[in-house]
Every structure is written in structure tokens, then in C-alpha cells.
Amino acid sequence: MNDMNSMNDISGKPLEGELQLINNYTRKELGEEDVYVFSVVLCDNETDRDYEKFSDEALNKLAQLYVGVTGIADHDPKSQNQRARIFSCNTEEVSGKVNSLGEPYRRLVARAYVPRNEKSEELIMELDSGIKKEVSVGCAVKKRICSVCGEDISLCSHIKGRDYAGKLCYALLCEPEDAYEWSFVAVPAQKAAGVIKAFEKNKSTSDTVKRCEKKIRYKGGELLDIEKKLFCGEEQSFSREEMRELAGKFRSLEKKALDGEYYRETLIKDVRGLSAVVLPGLSADILMSITDELSASQLGELKKAFESKASEILPIRPQLSGNDSSKKNNNTLYKNI
């Protein structure tokens, strides 16, 4: 892969064989004079400002996923905001360079093109002058592994950016599932290029960028950093915004707990009523000690089992069904108690 500073790359002209790759994405055949071509480092295996890091395997997978992906600005997914398109992408190891963890430095380098016309003249000038340089990628990964314990970082107690017995906690991003865009940004998450999202420097970051940031998160339950503070066993301080967020979570959990308690009490009442038919010799005290230890799902299973047994012991026939005993009885026990 040619470096961005090579003489051929500075000219903006496609290298040998690249025009054919570009024309795979065009409706009409373009010539060398019709396109401006440049190299861009999308991301690497360095720990970024958000204490997240792509694994080498993830970089290899992204090299496949990013071919053909469009480049936009500031993660704003509008068709009129499209700037360029990637036509080839590879991972490369920079000889003699290591990342902050002492590992061989590897990066994801793409070749992209821009059509030459009046509208793109400004962008091409910004690329040549180094104004448009930093980029950030938008993708989704399946796993975010804690560097300290090796578990899903959304569920463990460790907090990104902290040291644990001399070991930095960061999220290792693994198994990319989708690469949906890359953007020119002012402040990328990674210093060398940009990774997954634009770095949130202040609270004025656009909602669009925030939505893009969430794409990388593991598709499942996620323990946020604010919640991890509560379980880390250390003295913590919370901002007013964090306090409001926690208060909202507690109110929501309280409501769910009340609903769950009501549902569980209803199941216990049903099970105790059925036990009079299924287990008539069982004392109320013993039954109470049993049901008090069961979860709602376990009580539900016990209720189903008792209902099945009760229908065998005490078949019930609706009062208005007539005297034809050959007709199948579909009523449950509860309609006749």
C-alpha cells in the first residue's frame, strides 16, 4: 500500500490498475482525468481517546467491509453530504513502529476517489492543503472485551481509562459486523486517524454523532460507566447530570419492581389454590415456605404443572354443555372453583 505522502499519491492520479477498480462503482467509464485519488488511514490498533482499541483481527475484517463504503462529513448521513468512496482497503504494519502497548503498530489504509468537477474543487484543495485530514469511522462490532478481566466490558466492574495493578483498562473491539460510513471530522477519537466515532469534546456534539457512537456498543445489556462507579468499591463523585440520570433509573426500576411483585403474588395465590386439589395433604406452612423461595418463572412452571395434574384429578364440565359426556371439555379448573 502506498503511503499518503508518496509522489504518485500527491498527484491525485490513480495508480496502475486502480481506474478499473474505481469504474466498478460508476455508471459510465471514467478516465484518469475524471477522478482525484487519495489514501486515508481509517483506524489502527492504538488505544484511542475513549480507551477503545481494535484488535488486529478486527482490522483485517474491516479491510473487507470498507471496500465500496462512502465517505461523508461529521457523521451526517445525508446523500448531499457524500464526499468520496473507498475502492480498495488493506491493513498494513508499519516497520519499526509500536503502539502505546508495545505491540507492532498496524493500521487500516484505504484508497478513495472523488470525481473532478467544480463542486469537488474545494474538497480537493482542502485535501491537498492538509485541512481535510482527520477521519473517523462508523461501524458495528459484536464484542467489546475488557483488557483487565477478559469479559464483556459492558458487564464487568472495570472502568475504561483506569489502572488496575498497573494494567490499563480499555475495551478491545472485536468481530466487526458492519462498516457503514467514514467521515471527515475535526477531532477524531484516534489521534492517528479516527475510530468509530468523533471524539466528544463537549456537550454540543450533534445528536447524529451520538447515534453513530452507540453503533459500536455490544448488542445486549450494557453497564454504563456511571453505573460502574456504584460497584467499583471506591469513593466516587457524581455530577448533577449523573445524579439526575441515576434518579431516573431508580424510579424506573422501582416501578418495574412493584409490577413484578404484584405478578409474583398472583402466581403464588394461584399455586396455593391448585395445591388443594393436587396435593391436599400438604400443609399450608410447608407450601408457603416452598413458594416464597421460588422465582416468578419457577412459580409459572409450577402453576402449569399443577394445572395439568388438576385437570386429570378433577375434570370439569361447563354447566351449559348439556348431558353429552362425549364432548371434549376445554374449560380450565379456575372457571368452576
CA of 176: how far to CAs of 38, 65, 148, in Å? 25, 9, 21
Dist CA 336 CA 314 (whole Å):
11
| pLDDT at residue 186 in the model | 64
Largest CA distance in the chain: 98
Report the predicted TM-score, pTM, of the whole model to 2 decimal places.
0.54
pLDDT tens digits, one per residue of 69-118: 988 877 676 666 678 899 999 999 999 999 999 999 999 999 999 899 88
Q: Shortest CA distance to 229 belongs to which of 238, 240, 221, 220?
A: 238
Dist CA 126 CA 46 (whole Å):
26
The string over 151-180, giving b where at least 16 C-beta atoms fall within 10 Å of a residue's C-beta and e elsewhere, is: ebbbebbbbbeeeeeeebbbbbbbebeebe
Q: Which helix (H) or strand (E) holds 262?
A: helix 240-278
Is 11 a residue whose pLDDT tops 80?
no
Q: 3-class SS at 15?
A: coil
Q: Is 27 left (phi over 0), alpha (psi -120 to 50) or beta?
A: alpha
- 84: exposed, middle or buried (C-beta count within 10 Å: 0-12, 13-18, 19+)? buried
Is 126 a residue whose pLDDT tops 50?
yes
Is 59 a residue whose pLDDT tops 60?
yes
Dist CA 60 CA 54 (whole Å):
10
Show Cβ contacts of residue 69 under 8 Å, excluding neighbours closer than 6 positions.
85, 86, 179, 180, 181, 182
Q: Shortest CA distance to 18 belongs to which of 34, 7, 5, 183?
A: 34
* Parallel/antiparallel/unpaired status of strands 135-146 and 171-184: antiparallel
| pLDDT at residue 163 in the model | 92
CA of 38: how far to CAs of 7, 118, 167, in Å? 11, 18, 38
pLDDT tens digits, one per residue of 179-219: 888 887 765 555 555 332 333 334 343 443 343 333 333 33
